[in-house]
Structure 1
Amino acid sequence: MNQDYIKPSEWSLIEEGFEPGRVKSSESLFSIGNGAMGQRANFEEQYSGPTFQGSYIAGVYYPDKTRVGWWKNGYPEYFAKVLNAPNWIGIDVEINGEALDLQQCTSVKDYRRELNMKEGWYQRSFKATLKNGAEVSVTATRFLSIDIDEVGAIKFEVTPLNGEAEIKFTPYVDGGITNEDSNWDDKFWDVSETGTQGDYAYVRSKTMKTGFDVCTGMRAALLLDGKLTEATPAASKTDFKAQLSYTVKVAANSTAALVKMAGYVTSMNHKSEDLRKASEAVIGKAVEIGFDELKNMQAKSWAAIWEMADITIEGDVKAQQGIRFNIFQLNQTYLGKDARLNIGPKGFTGEKYGGSTYWDTEAYCLPFYMATKDAQVARNLLKYRYNHLEKAIENAEKLGFTNGAALYPMVTMNGEECHNEWEITFEEIHRNGAIAFAIFNYVRFTGDYSYVPEMGLEVLIGIARFWHQRANYSAQKDKYVILGVTGPNEYENNINNNWYTNYIAKWCIDYTNKQIEKVKAEYGADYTRIMEKAKLTEAEVAEWMKVADNMYFPYSDEHGVYLQQDGFLDKEMIKVADLDPKQRPINQHWSWDRILRSPYIKQADTLQGFYFFEEDFSREELEKHFDFYEPFTVHESSLSPCVHSIQAAVLNRMDQAYTFYLRTSRLDLDDYNKEVHEGLHITSMAGTWMSIVEGFGGMRVKNDMLSLEPRIPEQWKGYSFKVNFRDTILKVEVKQDETVVKVEKGAAMTLNVNGKVLEVSSEKAVTA
């Protein structure tokens, strides 16, 4: 049974009623972020019930020493940890001398949370009766400013209901925090200084090993019935914490409010010696603007994001809520301002998965950012990988590869591999192909070829060298094979000739060869520079091509399909529909040994290849492979439903496409995988966007032209989306009986709609 306590609403997440058992889940779902920092929806006040504290700073991490039972050559020395950063939200509240703690209150009524996605703020409200008999109404509102992205703002309002009350607010910043997922219970932070001055308090801390220097600062002010008081706070500090205290007598039905501006400045953006001064300055700027005006600015900034990124759905509130939640969280996680940053699978909502970058970025996130931002944002994601090329070469060298072969990491913060499960680290090498595919996809969509001669060709050469060395000749097959791999289906390890891996390896070599020829013909100076730097010869490329031209692909004549890997048909082929539902999800009920011997597929594997390389196969071939593999797919990866939704739409199986869409869009809202308390599935949220735009909308780039083949689920009256295609912003509106395409900004363009080539401009919309 999936959770269903989030109220359907087009622009908000709403929870009603206080249930301690779902606090951790809601802490994930109601998380906020601004691309530079993020915060789980923890309570500001004390809470003695189960909770998962989480405050995060983009780019700040700790190299937690690898913990394995048996060390193998080539293991990464550490697993990167997204760090729980100093707590900036804390506000202890006492009513007539008793701490406000919802776990200890005798009653909690009218409890409500709202995450307003349209304007980018989070609010919690309730009425509580404390053990001392005091009844209060509380409203806490907070947001992380997009305009001043080193600052978060909180307004915590308390109204006594049954008589005058003495209220004490103690806002603080606390560096004495830990990660839930530490391997060795190491101390991740060294707190060097705490202090207060007037209404400003701060904690200086530095990460162990990596040396990220952070000043967490705050200023606070007390309001009574909306008017600023002259209250002077009592200040105190410990080795880890700095706090201020405000005490005020409040009449019944009057409201005391504590306004807190707080946040992080780091050595990534400031000199260490200037951090405290920078903290005071940026928080001072926020205080000068004021809470209400900063919140108005937040709404305007989010309006600008939504103007381009929004997808509307008519007639299906749950579907509408789902897609907006996904788009909202993607923009909270990454806004494309800083090429040093990337998109972690949990974003700013949890600690699981450690590093900030997986192949998810290239395979799933890039299309969203290309189409809803501008080309520069997507280019920054590719530049991130170019900046890590030397580390990718080092990663390959550690595994015995030579001559500049590059193996990009499965998980990374700084380009080094930091994932320590051997079946992933050593074997899930298909991630290399996703990075090359992203270069192709970027050029295809944006029309910006300049990335290839400037940076991309060097990346492609390193990747092609890896595939050439990783394949070996099989005399028995008279073909090149790739042995000992894990494909996208992580429920098979150490298998031979995963079709998707072999196919993308061949494609990478072919694509790299074509780009070498193009750069040679059209960018002579770049060609000379790159060939000299890479020491690449025509003879070496000829050796690559032998591998690409003679790659082995397992195939079943009986079934007429490419086999996921050599031994796939040796399994006991029981379909998912015939499994006992009580055994699902199998990753929580079966041993790993049993999973590995089963035919069950975690996520699209062979079908991932059919998604990437759709034009290489007929729809009949797609249908045959979809019908063969989907019945064995358990969709226990967040990345699975979106690919299947897109392909079901291509096959015009709209009921199935809609079911998969609803699952991907509400994966976390409805907690399909029973793990939302650990954080959200940020990277798969981009797949939700793809399910509508590429699935239902049928958007492709074919023959250097944008192509649309729209379909619509019967559950919807209509839907719309926008894409920025080569600096022309198109709006696509799909109804049950027609599709309208218009240019909202930019030059006229030619596009293909349902097989017809049409001209569209700002003056001339097209209807199909």
Structure 2
Amino acid sequence: MEHATLSYEGFEPESEGLREALCTLGNGYLATRGAAPESSADGVHYPGTYLAGCYDRLTSVVSGRSVENEDIVNVPNWLPLTFRTPGQDPLTLTGSDVLEHRQDLDTRQGLLTRRTRFRDPAGRVLAVTQRRIVSMHDPHVAALETTFVAENWSGPLEVRAGLDGQVTNAGVRRYRDLDGRHLVPGVEGYDKDEHVAWLQVRTVTSRIRVAEAAAIVVTGSAGQVPRAFDRAAGRCAVVLRPDLAEGVPVTVEKRVAVYTSRDRAISESLYAARRHAARLPGFGTLLAEHAHAWERLWQVSRVAVPGDPQRALDLHVFHLLQTLSEHSAQLDVGMPARGLHGEAYRGHVFWDELFVFPFLLLRFPRIARSLLMYRWRRLPRARRAASDAGYRGAMYPWQSGSDGRDETPRMHLNPASGRWIEDHTDLQRHGGLAVAHNVWEYFEATGDLTFMYDHGFEMLVEIARFWCSLVSYDAATDRYDIRGVVGPDEYHDGYPDADRPGIDNNAYTNVMVSRVLRYALAALDALPEREGRVLSRRCGLEERETDLFDHVSRRMRVVFHDDGVISQFEGYERLAELDWTAYRSRYDSIRRLDRILEAEGDSVNRYQASKQADVLMLVFLLGETGVRETLASLGYRCDAAALNRTVDYYLARTSHGSTLSAVVHAWVLASRDRAASWRFFLEALSSDIADVQGGTTAEGIHLGAMAGTIDLLQRCYTGLDVTDGVLRLAPRLPRELDALDLRLRFRDHWGITVRCSHDRVGVTMARSMQLPVTVSVFGREHTLAPGETWEIPADTDGPA
């Protein structure tokens, strides 16, 4: 099956950061941005390399205050390869005469190819072709192949192939006032017999020792190629001087091994890197192994649609698998919201895995489980955070990094005003609700009772316990309130002129608390009686507490407007209406309305204006039926008309300041206005490729939004649901989408293919020794046996 290639023709300095992010290569352990190997961090290029879970903590002084931040570390750059013709400066994209330049990312093979023709001041033309991989076969390996052709001259070429550990974290402009010097030089060296150069550095406070070793091999040059070794603290290079004959290609291969002191099954990181690099095969073999690994991934991952969307979908799946792979599943890492593609959000883990889990659960449940294990290992820290704040249970942070402490900054820079302002987003307590929801969704999709017994149940209980200690009870109304939080909207971190941060009775938070309490009770019921008793004792869970879970789950307060619209939070309808037309006419983009208003001396807290979906997130997570059922269980009536009014109300008051917003709105509109849903889908699909937020993608892709576009196709437009062990489908394809093919894995049933069109729905189960699976299409159930295909016309309830 054909896969799209992301191609760029010509060199455009203003677009280079975006291209570097989108052309990142990674394997879940290691990722490197798509910068030219001869470039450095110069304001145009930013050749960052990141290792999953490699964080370091530094303290900076901002506006007279000490601010501590933990960052994903920009580790030594393995790419450097510069070249110059006789008597000239090194040839670069920014400082030389570039005759031609083209860059192609082959998502099928995970191969980045660059072709450039330079002309030096003496008129000599040098053609450079480079191929690059970060191996999906071997997580510790990356490789660069560079072929030089002298087109109208002959003579020596100087090539410097190096490793650069003098890099800093400087990839996000608004962070540049903060200390980004995370690496301390260690040792550098060169083995002239094996042609391997190496260096080792360590991070400042986490003291992780990062080692890189590069085997440098030259082919095609006549005679022995002179070599020299150059070193400085934290940096080294092998200097080559091959003789070029006009029209005859000469190739330099750079085969790199990367290890850290956190890796398993090694004695020491530098020793491991040197031994590995010395034994690496040629680039052709490395590429073949790497391409085969990608072929296996694509067999179970691709979502196929006709026409233009396929290119972006392939890119989204590609970057998702480069961040979260079977290699990352071996590590103690979470999901960085911006992938391993840049330094935005400091590489922290938020709630975005909510948007990624559906893709993983239906293809790579082991990776989803590893993300839950990241949360499980930080359960003690979450318990400590709750205790320190005066609560029980576990309080997961809004931003997490290495050890699970709250990494949410307490100040942030508004680029629109240049001011550092207080940041209260740590009050987004709903991060723990996302963890609990993911635990339950994992169980629904996999039926993994062992995980629930060993880990999941305790996580659910501790999260439920936290919320029951956070709520306040109003005996007069027999309702529970939650005060002083921030919802998914993020704009509203307090009431106008209030003396405390936070808002009260956020609808999303309160409804999801009700659901999470029910998850905890359902998990207890799902366990065998004896094991349930054992776990309850282990968690100190007594009947009076399960009774409390039950009562709170049925009596959470949800606030409504007079017309039945679900209020985003208590008092929302009393806020001022914003003059949206005026702001849209004054500014090119109002996506970050909060920054615009702060720069004007105003506050978004005063207005009925949302950054992204908040109330509507409930529809995305629970479905319309789930929202109405949950509200009914709380004693509230919300019919279809009221839900429609709620959707219309917030559609008119959302600035879409997050890439996640378009995903949620496309989902919510799918059952109401399919044409509008499709428009939001296309917006989400292009959000990173077109960099709709004006420069943010250069700092790292938006992984949640990328996964969300895939999920719109696989679950929303197909009506796919996997609750209660049944694979249910009820497609509602937009008019613009003629057909849709998915390959899924469901409860250890491998090789399930779903094909939908406007006319027919078909489900096929590959031949195997597996037991049959129950499938429901438009409410009609069928027991699907291995090797069987079942088809139903899309306009009837009966089988074809």
Tell me, yes or no, whether TM beats 0.5: yes
Query: Secondary structure of the equivalent of 2:648?
Result: helix
| More displaced stretch, 32-41 vs 637-646 | 637-646
Taking the aligned partners of 1:567 and 1:597, their CA distance within structure 2 comes to: 11
Query: What is the CA distance between 1:165 and its match in structure 2?
Result: 3.4
Query: What is the CA distance between 1:270 and its match in structure 2?
Result: 4.9
1:766 and 2:790 correspond: yes
1:524 and 2:545 correspond: no
The residue aligned with 1:609 is 618
Distance 1:158 1:666, change over 3 A: same
The residue aligned with 2:127 is 137
Query: What is the CA distance between 1:594 and its match in structure 2?
Result: 3.1
Taking the aligned partners of 2:133 and 2:113, their CA distance within structure 1 comes to: 9
Q: Deviations over 1:657-681 (max 9, x none)?
A: 2111111122110111112221211
1:345 and 2:334 correspond: no
Query: Secondary structure of the equivalent of 2:246?
Result: coil
Distance 1:53 1:581, change over 3 A: farther
The residue aligned with 2:278 is 284
Residue of 1, 4, 15 corresponding to 1:22: 15
Query: What is the CA distance between 1:218 and its match in structure 2?
Result: 0.6
Distance 1:46 1:612, change over 3 A: closer
- Supply the RMSD in Å over aligned alpha carbons: 2.4
Alignment of 1:153-302 (within 5 A): 153-180=143-170, 181=175, 184-185=178-179, 187-198=181-192, 199-224=195-220, 230-270=224-264, 274-286=268-280, 289-302=281-294
Query: What is the CA distance between 1:263 and its match in structure 2?
Result: 3.4
Alignment of 1:297-446 (within 5 A): 297-314=289-306, 316-317=307-308, 319-336=309-326, 337-361=329-353, 363-373=354-364, 375-402=365-392, 404-421=393-410, 424-446=424-446
The residue aligned with 1:541 is 546
The residue aligned with 2:631 is none
Q: Deviations over 1:399-431 (max 9, x none)?
A: 2224x4433443332211111237555410111
Taking the aligned partners of 1:598 and 1:173, their CA distance within structure 2 comes to: 52
Q: Deviations over 1:36-69 (max 9, x none)?
A: 1000111111466622231111111112337666
Mapped contact 2:75–2:210 kept (Cα < 8 A)? no
Query: Secondary structure of the equivalent of 2:268?
Result: helix
Query: Secondary structure of the equivalent of 1:441?
Result: helix
Distance 1:325 1:621, change over 3 A: farther
The residue aligned with 1:6 is none
Query: What is the CA distance between 1:167 and its match in structure 2?
Result: 0.8
Query: What is the CA distance between 1:577 and its match in structure 2?
Result: 6.7
1:40 and 2:40 correspond: no
What is the identity, as a one-letter code, of the residue corresponding to 1:644? H
Query: Secondary structure of the equivalent of 2:116?
Result: strand
Mapped contact 2:583–2:590 kept (Cα < 8 A)? no
The residue aligned with 2:571 is 567
The residue aligned with 1:113 is 103
Mapped contact 2:729–2:777 kept (Cα < 8 A)? yes
Q: Deviations over 1:679-706 (max 9, x none)?
A: 2112321111111111212211244311
Taking the aligned partners of 2:681 and 2:97, their CA distance within structure 1 comes to: 40
Distance 1:56 1:580, change over 3 A: same
The residue aligned with 2:45 is 51
Mapped contact 2:118–2:127 kept (Cα < 8 A)? yes
The residue aligned with 1:737 is 759
Taking the aligned partners of 1:368 and 1:576, their CA distance within structure 2 comes to: 36
Distance 1:120 1:637, change over 3 A: same
The residue aligned with 1:508 is 516
Distance 1:248 1:52, change over 3 A: same
Q: Deviations over 1:622-653 (max 9, x none)?
A: 433222212212221121111222222233x2
TM-score (norm 1): 0.92
Residue of 28, 31, 53 corresponding to 2:24: 31
Alignment of 1:636-715 (within 5 A): 636-651=657-672, 653-674=673-694, 675-715=696-736
Alignment of 1:550-561 (within 5 A): 550-558=555-563, 560-561=564-565
Taking the aligned partners of 2:108 and 2:355, their CA distance within structure 1 comes to: 24
Mark the runs of 5 or more structure 1 residues left unpaired by the alignment.
Answer: 1-8
Mapped contact 1:395–1:409 kept (Cα < 8 A)? no
Query: Secondary structure of the equivalent of 1:372?
Result: coil
Query: What is the CA distance between 1:582 and its match in structure 2?
Result: 4.5
Query: What is the CA distance between 1:266 and its match in structure 2?
Result: 0.8
What is the identity, as a one-letter code, of the residue corresponding to 2:339? G
The residue aligned with 2:597 is 591
Taking the aligned partners of 1:386 and 1:428, their CA distance within structure 2 comes to: 20
Query: Secondary structure of the equivalent of 2:103?
Result: strand
Taking the aligned partners of 1:270 and 1:183, their CA distance within structure 2 comes to: 36
Mapped contact 1:423–1:486 kept (Cα < 8 A)? no
What is the identity, as a one-letter code, of the residue corresponding to 1:492? H
Query: Secondary structure of the equivalent of 2:759?
Result: coil
The residue aligned with 1:492 is 492
Taking the aligned partners of 1:67 and 1:473, their CA distance within structure 2 comes to: 42
Distance 1:666 1:401, change over 3 A: same
Taking the aligned partners of 1:710 and 1:406, their CA distance within structure 2 comes to: 38
Query: What is the CA distance between 1:743 and its match in structure 2?
Result: 1.0
Query: What is the CA distance between 1:453 and its match in structure 2?
Result: 1.7
Q: Deviations over 1:602-635 (max 9, x none)?
A: 2221111122222322655543322221221222
Distance 1:20 1:731, change over 3 A: same
Query: What is the CA distance between 1:595 and its match in structure 2?
Result: 2.4
Query: Secondary structure of the equivalent of 2:349?
Result: coil
Distance 1:242 1:718, change over 3 A: same
Taking the aligned partners of 1:755 and 1:525, their CA distance within structure 2 comes to: 35
Taking the aligned partners of 1:273 and 1:762, their CA distance within structure 2 comes to: 46
Taking the aligned partners of 1:186 and 1:612, their CA distance within structure 2 comes to: 38
Taking the aligned partners of 1:66 and 1:13, their CA distance within structure 2 comes to: 39
Taking the aligned partners of 2:177 and 2:373, their CA distance within structure 1 comes to: 32
Taking the aligned partners of 1:495 and 1:258, their CA distance within structure 2 comes to: 60
Q: Number of residues paired by the alignment?
A: 742
